[in-house]
Amino acid sequence: MTQDQEHKEETGVANQTGPEQSGAEEAPVKKPSRRKKQESPKQLAGFEDMDISDEVLRAVARMGFHEATSIQKQTIPLMMRGDDIIGIAPTGTGKTCAFGIPMLEYMDLKETRIQEVVLAPTRELAMQIGEELEKLAYYIREVKIAVLYGGQSIGRQMDQLKKHPQIIVATPGRMIDHLERGSVRLDGVHTLVLDEADEMLNMGFVKDVCRIIDRIPPTRQFVMFSATTSQDVMTISWKYQHEPIQVTVRATKQDKPQITQYVIPVTREDKLDRLLYLLDSDEYGRIMIFTNTKFMAHRLNATLQKNGFDSEELHGDVPQGKRSQIMMRYKKGKFPILVCTDVAARGIDVDDVEAVINYDLPQENEYYLHRIGRTGRAHKHGVAFTLMSFTESVRMDEILKYMKSKPTDLKFDDAGILRKEDGEPFFENI
């Protein structure tokens, strides 16, 4: 623990870079002390110097990790000593564990109040973070985690809350709902995490997120993570973080997601046929196809099913029970093709998605990066295809300028064969 952190904890007044914190009348919350480290069971490169407890190290080994990723190496020690952080690192490089590991180190297992909160933009992501934290807490039996998201019965969530979870993972809307009902109190929270921070602070969410932050004691540790950042992140940082440290892991060498990007010019009328051609190649085991609207996701999925493909759809019009079930089945590899809107663009971690296809180009540049980042995760290799109609080419140029990357152009010839720039067929089998 640093002197700064001690100062923060003892007095409840940290050196602030932003304006006075709201909710300052609430009693300062003391962060519990870290659990004792014992003999570590296994050498895990990069993790062993971090003073991580035996139970969490064993869980990390059980998850099959051998070495900490760059964002983990750089932010876990900072978060362990209590710093407020903005952590920016490429997609699929382990940001969840970067905040999840330190979260489990500071927990008073006897305390009945909620101690730590993670906010995430989508229901599926909230559930996934809950699951990753459960895995990290595998050897700490007393840890209870509640996941609160819209579309699930409030009663079921009340039952979870009655068990006095130490950790809550929530979407902002449902968290506000519980705060208003009085079923959640945040006066004992010492750690707040915003995952996908830039998305959480955009227009759709920022009011709710600020209302939640205002209910948490100002002495809390506040960390934000994402693969992309925005001016809103800096504004909220200035307002609510204490001497924040920004860690940016650039997409170079070992931290660069291995994604080969292809752009295929198509006419609007041909788009569907071109998509069917890509799917017919049978080259990719697991595929995510992104559309811009719920309607298009639904229509496209229906068409794919009619054409004999084993696909499902995931978007805001699918009832929550079914959404959860589809995500679970997709993660388990029960069907190969997921047609989805941007609800699945951020944070979703499905093992071995081999190809991402942009059926529509996203409206925002960041979303291109997040969408294609569903593949090429954790050092695996993936491909991303964008089917670009003539009217989308201007949008594509903007995206590529933002991405600072040069995808490979592919073209369909007059006979409908997809060819590389050198004229060779792209797929050998069709």
Side chain identity at 377, as an amino acid letter? R
Contact flag: residue 370 with Mg ion (CB under 5 A): no
Q: Which does 373 bind (CB under 5 to 8 A by kind): ligand ATP, Mg ion, none?
A: ligand ATP
Site for ligand ATP in 336-355 (CB under 6 A): 347, 349
Binding residue for ligand ATP (CB under 6 A) from 154, 378, 403, 430?
378
Contact flag: residue 95 with Mg ion (CB under 5 A): yes
Contact flag: residue 106 with ligand ATP (CB under 6 A): no
Contact flag: residue 376 with ligand ATP (CB under 6 A): no
Decide whether 226 or 301 has the Cβ nearer to ligand ATP: 226
Least Å distance between CB 97 and ligand ATP?
A: 5
Contact flag: residue 65 with ligand ATP (CB under 6 A): yes
Contact flag: residue 386 with ligand ATP (CB under 6 A): no
Given the rule CB under 5 A, which of 93-101, 145-153, 302-310, 379-387 is the region that contacts Mg ion?
93-101
Contact flag: residue 377 with ligand ATP (CB under 6 A): yes
Least Å distance between CB 95 and Mg ion?
A: 5
Contact flag: residue 174 with Mg ion (CB under 5 A): no
Count of residues in contact with ligand ATP, rule CB under 6 A: 19
Contact flag: residue 68 with ligand ATP (CB under 6 A): yes
Contact flag: residue 92 with ligand ATP (CB under 6 A): yes
CA 222/CA 210 separation, integer angstroms? 12
Contact flag: residue 347 with Mg ion (CB under 5 A): yes
Contact flag: residue 129 with ligand ATP (CB under 6 A): no
Residues in touch with ligand ATP (CB under 6 A):
65, 67-69, 72, 89, 91-97, 227, 347, 349, 373, 377-378
